[in-house]
Amino acid sequence: MDPGAGEDVGPDRSASPVPGSHADQLVTLLLWRHGQTEWNLERRFQGQSDVGLNATGRRQARQAALLIAALKPDAIYSSDLARAAGTAEPLARLTGLPVNLDKDLRERHGGEWEGLTDQEIRQSYPDEYRIWSPPGGEPTAAVADRAAGAFERIADNMAGGSLAVVVSHGAAIGMGMSRLLGLPERERILGSLANCSWSVLGHRSGRWRLLEHNVGTLPEPVPDPAAGQGSGSGLEPVPGLGLAAGAAAGSGSGRGG
């Protein structure tokens, strides 16, 4: 997220060189990972296998959509796999926006690993597991190229000052973001996205910035005894904070989902 006023971070080199210039206004992409599936729970590599949301995943999508709709998005894009399109559907219903399906937002193709559990992969493919390279699957660089290219294309199609919600998958989002931010895709510097959580990228003047990461995984606040009885935690809602862990994070975020 952007630092507050007074933080010693130097000049904002992504600021518009022409005040009020429409072309140089920030375009924001909210990159939203799909909700939970049964394969997530079982820690199975999903890849491009078309696994749908389970009941928890559908509930996560409905709850997260209520928050994201409040941001007033201008467009919705989604992977064409069922778990991503199913996550986008509640937001489309709330906003009235169509869902633009894009196969370039699909998850990494897992080759021989698709459908296998993490333990099965570890036991049967120990060498490939150490470098996380599925035989017959999509190379890391190819996933990063494909996802980053889709994010660039979506941003280029958006007007300055607009927000696009992009529903995709854990590896595709992580590798695509790393490519745009100049981070090594294999190092996994950015932590994994939990089910139905999201990250936010800003694009302006040809530069990308990470504005928020893994939103939606905050725990429930502890009660504050000083707030008095009958007043709950004593905390006021804070705009921009995500869902509670039970609502958004789910389980089985995995590495192939």
Q: Which residues are catalytic?
A: 34, 107
Tell me how many degrees the CA angle 108-110-116 measures, rounded to the nearest 5: 130
Per DSSP bridges, beta strands 207-215 and 198-204 are antiparallel
Q: CA–CA separation, 71 vs 149, rounded Å?
A: 25
Residue-by-residue DSSP string for 78-145: E-SSHHHHHHHHHHHHHH-PPEEE-GGGSPPP-GGGTT-BHHHHHHH-HHHHHHT--TTS--HHHHHH
Residues in Cβ contact with 225 at an 8 Å cutoff, skipping those fewer than 6 apart: none
